[in-house]
Amino acid sequence: MTLPLKIDLLDAALVPPEDARIRLFHGRGKTVPGWEGLSIDRYPPVLVATLFDDYPPDVLAALRQRLTDALPALACDALLLQHRQRRPVHNEWAVGQAPRSHWVEEDGLRYRLDFERGQNLGFFADMAPGRQWLRHRAADANVLNLFSFTCAFSVAALAGGARRVVNIDLSAPALALGRESQCENGFADAAVHYLPHNIFRSWKKLHSLGRYETIVVDPPSAQKGSFMVEKDYPTVLRRLSKLLAPRASLLVCLNAPWLDRQWLQRQVAEHLPGAELEAVLPGAPGFAEAGEPALKVLAYRYRRPEHLDQD
Protein backbone atom coordinates (compact mmCIF):
# COMPACT_ATOMS: atom_id res chain seq x y z
CA MET A 1 0.00 0.00 0.00
CA THR A 2 1.53 3.34 -1.03
CA LEU A 3 1.84 6.37 1.19
CA PRO A 4 -0.60 8.60 -0.81
CA LEU A 5 -3.22 5.86 -0.64
CA LYS A 6 -2.84 5.64 3.11
CA ILE A 7 -3.30 9.37 3.53
CA ASP A 8 -6.26 9.32 1.15
CA LEU A 9 -8.04 6.92 3.50
CA LEU A 10 -8.48 9.85 5.88
CA ASP A 11 -10.15 12.15 3.35
CA ALA A 12 -13.71 11.10 4.17
CA ALA A 13 -13.18 12.11 7.79
CA LEU A 14 -11.64 15.50 7.09
CA VAL A 15 -14.82 17.28 6.05
CA PRO A 16 -17.24 19.28 8.19
CA PRO A 17 -19.59 16.77 9.87
CA GLU A 18 -23.30 17.05 9.24
CA ASP A 19 -24.01 16.47 12.93
CA ALA A 20 -22.38 17.79 16.10
CA ARG A 21 -19.81 14.98 16.43
CA ILE A 22 -16.41 15.74 17.88
CA ARG A 23 -14.61 12.57 16.82
CA LEU A 24 -13.90 12.81 13.10
CA PHE A 25 -11.71 9.71 12.83
CA HIS A 26 -11.60 6.76 15.23
CA GLY A 27 -8.70 4.60 14.19
CA ARG A 28 -8.82 2.50 17.33
CA GLY A 29 -12.17 1.21 16.16
CA LYS A 30 -10.15 -0.78 13.58
CA THR A 31 -12.36 0.13 10.64
CA VAL A 32 -9.53 1.62 8.52
CA PRO A 33 -6.49 -0.67 8.14
CA GLY A 34 -3.17 1.00 8.79
CA TRP A 35 -4.53 3.85 10.88
CA GLU A 36 -5.44 2.00 14.09
CA GLY A 37 -3.10 4.29 16.04
CA LEU A 38 -4.74 7.59 15.12
CA SER A 39 -7.76 9.54 16.28
CA ILE A 40 -8.84 13.00 15.12
CA ASP A 41 -11.08 15.29 17.17
CA ARG A 42 -12.48 18.70 16.29
CA TYR A 43 -12.87 21.40 18.93
CA PRO A 44 -13.12 24.53 16.76
CA PRO A 45 -10.83 26.37 16.34
CA VAL A 46 -8.55 23.48 17.38
CA LEU A 47 -8.07 20.17 15.55
CA VAL A 48 -6.53 17.45 17.72
CA ALA A 49 -4.77 14.42 16.25
CA THR A 50 -3.83 11.78 18.84
CA LEU A 51 -1.12 9.29 17.92
CA PHE A 52 -1.00 5.98 19.75
CA ASP A 53 1.61 4.40 17.45
CA ASP A 54 5.03 5.42 16.16
CA TYR A 55 4.52 6.15 12.48
CA PRO A 56 7.56 6.44 10.15
CA PRO A 57 8.82 10.01 9.67
CA ASP A 58 7.56 10.23 6.08
CA VAL A 59 4.08 9.07 7.08
CA LEU A 60 4.02 11.50 10.01
CA ALA A 61 5.11 14.37 7.76
CA ALA A 62 2.42 13.56 5.21
CA LEU A 63 -0.20 13.30 7.96
CA ARG A 64 0.83 16.64 9.41
CA GLN A 65 0.52 18.27 5.98
CA ARG A 66 -2.86 16.67 5.24
CA LEU A 67 -4.28 17.83 8.57
CA THR A 68 -2.88 21.31 8.10
CA ASP A 69 -4.51 21.53 4.67
CA ALA A 70 -7.85 20.47 6.20
CA LEU A 71 -7.94 23.18 8.87
CA PRO A 72 -9.83 25.92 6.94
CA ALA A 73 -12.63 23.58 5.81
CA LEU A 74 -13.05 22.39 9.40
CA ALA A 75 -13.26 25.96 10.77
CA CYS A 76 -10.01 25.46 12.66
CA ASP A 77 -6.81 27.48 12.77
CA ALA A 78 -4.73 25.39 15.19
CA LEU A 79 -3.47 21.80 15.04
CA LEU A 80 -2.42 19.87 18.12
CA LEU A 81 -0.54 16.60 17.70
CA GLN A 82 -0.74 14.57 20.87
CA HIS A 83 1.94 11.85 21.00
CA ARG A 84 0.55 9.25 23.36
CA GLN A 85 2.99 6.62 22.15
CA ARG A 86 5.56 8.47 24.25
CA ARG A 87 5.97 8.63 28.01
CA PRO A 88 5.39 11.20 29.22
CA VAL A 89 2.71 12.22 26.72
CA HIS A 90 3.93 15.04 24.49
CA ASN A 91 1.64 17.73 23.08
CA GLU A 92 2.99 19.40 19.93
CA TRP A 93 1.34 22.50 18.48
CA ALA A 94 2.00 21.87 14.79
CA VAL A 95 -0.04 24.92 13.78
CA GLY A 96 -1.07 27.79 16.04
CA GLN A 97 -1.04 27.64 19.82
CA ALA A 98 -3.16 26.68 22.81
CA PRO A 99 -6.12 29.00 23.37
CA ARG A 100 -6.14 30.75 26.74
CA SER A 101 -9.61 29.49 27.52
CA HIS A 102 -11.61 27.03 25.50
CA TRP A 103 -14.97 25.31 25.75
CA VAL A 104 -16.73 22.51 23.92
CA GLU A 105 -20.49 22.52 23.46
CA GLU A 106 -22.74 19.45 23.61
CA ASP A 107 -26.54 19.49 23.68
CA GLY A 108 -26.57 23.17 24.59
CA LEU A 109 -24.14 22.75 27.51
CA ARG A 110 -20.57 24.04 27.67
CA TYR A 111 -17.63 22.14 29.13
CA ARG A 112 -14.23 23.55 30.00
CA LEU A 113 -11.21 22.18 28.12
CA ASP A 114 -7.58 22.39 29.19
CA PHE A 115 -5.03 21.87 26.43
CA GLU A 116 -2.18 22.00 28.93
CA ARG A 117 -3.30 18.94 30.91
CA GLY A 118 -1.23 16.50 28.89
CA GLN A 119 -3.00 13.26 28.09
CA ASN A 120 -6.60 14.28 28.73
CA LEU A 121 -8.18 17.56 27.67
CA GLY A 122 -10.87 17.32 30.32
CA PHE A 123 -13.74 16.00 28.19
CA PHE A 124 -14.55 12.55 26.82
CA ALA A 125 -16.62 12.80 23.64
CA ASP A 126 -17.35 9.06 23.64
CA MET A 127 -19.46 9.45 26.79
CA ALA A 128 -22.10 11.65 25.10
CA PRO A 129 -24.83 8.95 25.31
CA GLY A 130 -24.11 8.56 29.02
CA ARG A 131 -24.53 12.26 29.66
CA GLN A 132 -27.78 12.26 27.70
CA TRP A 133 -29.03 9.29 29.73
CA LEU A 134 -28.23 11.04 32.99
CA ARG A 135 -29.78 14.33 31.94
CA HIS A 136 -33.06 12.60 31.19
CA ARG A 137 -33.15 10.85 34.58
CA ALA A 138 -31.75 13.39 37.01
CA ALA A 139 -34.91 15.37 37.83
CA ASP A 140 -35.03 15.99 41.61
CA ALA A 141 -32.39 13.30 42.19
CA ASN A 142 -29.49 13.23 44.59
CA VAL A 143 -26.71 12.21 42.18
CA LEU A 144 -23.36 10.64 43.07
CA ASN A 145 -20.65 10.98 40.42
CA LEU A 146 -17.87 8.54 41.28
CA PHE A 147 -14.46 9.06 39.64
CA SER A 148 -15.86 12.34 38.39
CA PHE A 149 -12.69 13.78 36.78
CA THR A 150 -13.81 17.19 35.35
CA CYS A 151 -17.44 16.59 36.32
CA ALA A 152 -19.11 16.56 32.90
CA PHE A 153 -21.73 14.19 34.30
CA SER A 154 -22.41 16.73 37.04
CA VAL A 155 -23.25 19.46 34.51
CA ALA A 156 -25.57 17.09 32.64
CA ALA A 157 -27.29 16.14 35.89
CA LEU A 158 -27.82 19.77 36.86
CA ALA A 159 -29.26 20.49 33.41
CA GLY A 160 -31.68 17.62 34.02
CA GLY A 161 -32.89 19.12 37.30
CA ALA A 162 -30.86 17.26 39.92
CA ARG A 163 -31.45 18.64 43.39
CA ARG A 164 -27.87 17.86 44.45
CA VAL A 165 -24.71 16.38 42.90
CA VAL A 166 -21.73 14.92 44.73
CA ASN A 167 -18.51 14.70 42.69
CA ILE A 168 -15.53 12.77 44.00
CA ASP A 169 -12.12 12.39 42.35
CA LEU A 170 -8.49 12.33 43.47
CA SER A 171 -7.59 15.25 41.20
CA ALA A 172 -8.34 18.66 42.70
CA PRO A 173 -7.38 20.46 39.43
CA ALA A 174 -9.87 18.30 37.50
CA LEU A 175 -12.60 19.16 40.00
CA ALA A 176 -11.72 22.85 39.61
CA LEU A 177 -12.44 22.58 35.88
CA GLY A 178 -15.76 20.98 36.78
CA ARG A 179 -16.65 23.94 38.96
CA GLU A 180 -15.88 26.29 36.04
CA SER A 181 -18.25 24.30 33.82
CA GLN A 182 -20.93 24.41 36.50
CA CYS A 183 -20.77 28.20 36.68
CA GLU A 184 -20.49 28.64 32.91
CA ASN A 185 -23.83 26.86 32.45
CA GLY A 186 -25.70 29.01 34.95
CA PHE A 187 -25.63 26.61 37.90
CA ALA A 188 -23.36 28.62 40.20
CA ASP A 189 -25.83 28.42 43.08
CA ALA A 190 -26.71 24.73 42.66
CA ALA A 191 -26.07 22.27 45.47
CA VAL A 192 -22.86 20.63 44.27
CA HIS A 193 -20.10 19.04 46.33
CA TYR A 194 -16.54 18.61 45.04
CA LEU A 195 -14.57 16.07 47.05
CA PRO A 196 -10.85 15.73 46.17
CA HIS A 197 -10.62 12.41 47.98
CA ASN A 198 -9.73 8.78 47.53
CA ILE A 199 -13.05 7.01 47.10
CA PHE A 200 -11.89 3.95 49.04
CA ARG A 201 -11.27 6.12 52.09
CA SER A 202 -14.43 8.20 51.75
CA TRP A 203 -17.38 5.83 52.07
CA LYS A 204 -18.44 7.39 55.37
CA LYS A 205 -18.41 10.88 53.88
CA LEU A 206 -20.34 9.75 50.81
CA HIS A 207 -22.90 8.02 53.03
CA SER A 208 -23.39 11.24 55.01
CA LEU A 209 -24.47 13.00 51.80
CA GLY A 210 -26.82 10.30 50.52
CA ARG A 211 -28.81 8.12 49.79
CA TYR A 212 -28.63 8.61 46.08
CA GLU A 213 -31.36 8.13 43.49
CA THR A 214 -28.73 8.03 40.75
CA ILE A 215 -25.09 6.90 40.80
CA VAL A 216 -22.57 7.08 37.96
CA VAL A 217 -19.58 4.73 38.15
CA ASP A 218 -16.98 5.67 35.54
CA PRO A 219 -13.55 4.62 36.83
CA PRO A 220 -10.20 4.58 35.08
CA SER A 221 -9.28 1.10 33.88
CA ALA A 222 -5.76 1.09 35.27
CA GLN A 223 -4.37 3.88 37.42
CA LYS A 224 -1.45 2.68 39.48
CA GLY A 225 -1.91 3.36 43.15
CA SER A 226 -5.60 4.31 42.95
CA PHE A 227 -7.65 1.93 40.79
CA MET A 228 -7.03 -1.37 39.03
CA VAL A 229 -10.20 -2.53 37.36
CA GLU A 230 -10.19 -6.28 38.00
CA LYS A 231 -9.36 -5.85 41.69
CA ASP A 232 -11.19 -2.68 42.60
CA TYR A 233 -14.41 -2.63 40.56
CA PRO A 234 -16.01 -5.42 42.63
CA THR A 235 -15.15 -3.50 45.81
CA VAL A 236 -16.95 -0.40 44.53
CA LEU A 237 -20.02 -2.36 43.50
CA ARG A 238 -20.28 -4.05 46.90
CA ARG A 239 -20.35 -0.66 48.59
CA LEU A 240 -23.15 0.81 46.51
CA SER A 241 -26.05 -0.90 48.29
CA LYS A 242 -25.37 1.26 51.35
CA LEU A 243 -25.41 4.42 49.25
CA LEU A 244 -28.34 3.80 46.92
CA ALA A 245 -31.93 4.81 47.62
CA PRO A 246 -34.41 1.90 47.74
CA ARG A 247 -35.38 2.73 44.14
CA ALA A 248 -32.57 4.09 42.05
CA SER A 249 -30.75 4.16 38.71
CA LEU A 250 -27.11 3.48 37.90
CA LEU A 251 -24.81 4.11 35.00
CA VAL A 252 -22.02 1.54 35.13
CA CYS A 253 -19.08 2.20 32.80
CA LEU A 254 -15.92 0.38 31.78
CA ASN A 255 -13.23 1.44 29.33
CA ALA A 256 -10.91 -1.56 29.21
CA PRO A 257 -10.38 -3.20 25.80
CA TRP A 258 -9.18 -6.45 27.39
CA LEU A 259 -12.45 -6.96 29.30
CA ASP A 260 -15.76 -7.59 27.56
CA ARG A 261 -19.24 -6.43 28.46
CA GLN A 262 -20.11 -9.81 29.94
CA TRP A 263 -17.31 -9.37 32.48
CA LEU A 264 -18.89 -6.14 33.68
CA GLN A 265 -22.38 -7.65 33.79
CA ARG A 266 -21.07 -10.56 35.86
CA GLN A 267 -19.52 -8.18 38.38
CA VAL A 268 -22.77 -6.28 38.81
CA ALA A 269 -24.79 -9.49 39.11
CA GLU A 270 -22.44 -10.88 41.75
CA HIS A 271 -21.69 -7.80 43.81
CA LEU A 272 -24.83 -5.63 43.58
CA PRO A 273 -28.00 -7.68 44.17
CA GLY A 274 -31.12 -5.81 43.13
CA ALA A 275 -29.56 -4.27 40.02
CA GLU A 276 -31.35 -5.14 36.78
CA LEU A 277 -29.89 -4.31 33.39
CA GLU A 278 -32.09 -1.78 31.61
CA ALA A 279 -30.03 -0.84 28.54
CA VAL A 280 -26.67 -1.06 26.83
CA LEU A 281 -26.03 2.46 25.65
CA PRO A 282 -24.91 2.97 22.03
CA GLY A 283 -21.62 4.48 21.01
CA ALA A 284 -21.28 8.19 20.40
CA PRO A 285 -21.26 9.58 16.85
CA GLY A 286 -17.88 9.13 15.23
CA PHE A 287 -16.85 6.15 17.36
CA ALA A 288 -17.47 3.34 14.88
CA GLU A 289 -16.04 -0.01 15.98
CA ALA A 290 -15.28 -3.14 13.99
CA GLY A 291 -15.85 -5.28 17.09
CA GLU A 292 -17.07 -4.79 20.64
CA PRO A 293 -16.35 -1.21 21.77
CA ALA A 294 -13.60 -0.63 24.30
CA LEU A 295 -16.06 1.60 26.21
CA LYS A 296 -19.00 -0.22 27.74
CA VAL A 297 -21.84 1.85 29.25
CA LEU A 298 -24.64 -0.03 30.97
CA ALA A 299 -27.79 1.46 32.50
CA TYR A 300 -29.32 -0.37 35.49
CA ARG A 301 -32.47 -0.10 37.55
CA TYR A 302 -31.97 -0.78 41.25
CA ARG A 303 -34.57 -2.21 43.62
CA ARG A 304 -33.22 -2.71 47.11
CA PRO A 305 -33.59 -6.40 48.16
CA GLU A 306 -35.77 -6.77 51.24
CA HIS A 307 -33.22 -8.85 53.13
CA LEU A 308 -30.80 -5.89 53.20
CA ASP A 309 -33.26 -3.94 55.36
CA GLN A 310 -33.35 -6.84 57.80
CA ASP A 311 -29.58 -7.05 58.27
CB 227 within 8 A of CB 219: yes
Confidence of residue 306 (pLDDT cuts 50, 70, 90): confident
Domain assignment of residue 49, given as a range: 3-99
Is the same domain home to 300 and 235?
yes
Residue 149 has a pLDDT of 95
Do 85 and 127 belong to one domain?
no
Residue 113 included in any domain: no
Helix (H) or strand (E) holding 133: helix 128-135
Q: Taking residues 195-214, what's their average pLDDT?
A: 95
Q: What is residue 61's predicted lDDT score, i.e. its pLDDT?
A: 94
Domain boundary among 99, 114, 145: 99
Q: Are residues 90 and 205 in the same domain?
A: no
What's the average model confidence in pLDDT over 118-136?
A: 93
Q: Are residues 94 and 39 in the same domain?
A: yes
- Higher local confidence (pLDDT), 308 or 230: 230
Pairwise CA distance, residues 186 & 195, whole Å: 21
- Mean pLDDT is highest, among 89-98, 143-152, 301-310, for 143-152
Could you give the CA distance from residue 214 to residue 106 in angstroms, rounded to a whole number? 21
83: domain CATH number? Answer: 3.30.750.80
If one counts every other C-beta atom within 10 angstroms of the C-beta of residue 245, the result is 16
The verdict on 176 and 261 lying in the same domain is yes
pLDDT band at 222 (very low <50, low <70, confident <90, very high): confident
**Does any domain span residue 95?**
yes
% of the chain with per-residue pLDDT over 90: 82
Average pLDDT, the chain: 93
Q: Are residues 159 and 289 in the same domain?
A: yes
Interatomic CA distance for residues 23 and 124, integer angstroms: 10
80 and 153 housed in the same domain: no
Tell me the β-bridge partners of 103.
112
What is the predicted pLDDT for the residue at 238?
97
Confirm if 38 and 52 have CB atoms less than 8 A apart.
yes
In a domain, residue 116? The reply is no
Q: Kindly report, residue by residue over 128-183, the tens digit of the pLDDT.
A: 999 999 999 999 999 999 999 999 999 999 999 999 999 999 999 999 999 999 99
Number of domains composing the chain: 2
CATH number of the domain within which 198 lies: 3.40.50.150
Q: Is the pLDDT of residue 59 over 60?
A: yes
Per-residue pLDDT band for 310 (boundaries 50, 70, 90) equals low
For residue 49, count other CB atoms closer than 10 A to its CB.
Answer: 22
Q: What is the pLDDT of residue 3?
A: 43
